[in-house]
Structure formats: C-alpha cells, structure tokens
Amino acid sequence: MTRDWVEWHDEYGTPGSPLARRREVVRGYLRPLLDRPRRVISMCAGDGRDVLPLLPAGSQAVLVEWDPVLAARAREDAGAGVTVLTDDAGTTTPYASIAPADVVLACGVFGNISYEDTQTTIASLPSLLAPGGTVIWTRGGAEAEAVRDLFAGNGFTELGFTAPPDARFRVGAHRLSRDPDPYLSGVRLFTFV
C-alpha cells in the first residue's frame, strides 16, 4: 500500500500537530540562513510551505516533488526565481540548474529511504552545495543519531539539533566544512521504500 502524501501533508495545517511543530523547527533553522538572496534546493518538497514563505526576493530555488498535487500547490505559491519540478528528487539531475546551492532541505527524506541510501545521499550532498553550504534535515526517533554521525563523517559541522522529548521528530542543521565535490548529473541518491 502506498502512502497518500497529500493527506499526510494536510497534518501541517493542524496547529500543534507533530508535523506543524516540525515545520516550525525547520523554519527556525532556515530563517537565519535566508538573511539575503540565496540558492536553495528542497528535496521531496511537498507543497513548499516550509521554505516558500521565507525566501527573500532575488533568491533562486528548485523544489522537487514527485506528487503532482503537492507540486501544483507549491507552484501556486512560488514566486520569481523559484522552479517547482514534478520529478524524482532521488537523483542529482533535477538540481542541475541550481547546484551549487547555499541551502539544501532534506526534510522527510531519511525516514523514507534505506540506511544505505541515507549513507549515499549524505556522502553526495557536498556535490550539491556551495562552500560553507548548509543542509537542514529531518528524521524520526533514535535513528537520527546515525544521521548525525553520517554528516560528521562526511565533512559537515553540526549547527544545531532539535529532539523534543514529547515528539518523535528530529531536526538537524549541518554546514559543509570541507571543499565541495563537483556536481555530477544522473547520480542516484535514494529511492523511497
């Protein structure tokens, strides 16, 4: 049985729900990074409501979402400089026009892919980032500790980590602290399970 992603995203509209709370934590990490126009990638972007309201004028962004209904919602709210693609976020190809980016959002990714794909994705993120670029990510429960370790082992410095005691969601922010890798198109990062 496949998940109804539109229904799942509707929980963001319920004040105090875990997803609404998670979105606010993500935005809390994102706001200071968007102090001026930036280049932003959002993988598995849903309807874009975590990033679109915060983008300063002059920013460029690519939001990639597989579900056509969610992608259409994001397009309705997208301003100048924002491209919303109904495409596979699990390859590097959709990011060709924006890489290297200042910010990559990998929210809702690591909890829906295998550990091996999580390793591959984190190891590949330096090819999507500009020097000093930042990744904001989410993962539920204790598995988030492994994600933190993977970022540390791939040349990232942790800027913050939020683990509310009364919720399963975890949110991290990591800055690339080594030289980026060259961008390569067509690299498989992950496949949703």
Residue with tokens 């809390």: 28
Q: Which of 53, 64, 152, 61 is nearest to 107 (CA)?
A: 64
5-176 carries CATH number 2.40.30.40: no
**Residue 102 DSSP symbol:** E
110 backbone dihedrals φ, ψ, rounded to 5° = -65, -20
pLDDT tens for 143-165 read 999 999 999 999 999 999 999 99
pLDDT tens for 121-131 read 999 999 999 99
Kindly report the pTM of this predicted structure. Answer: 0.94
Domain boundaries, the chain: 5-176
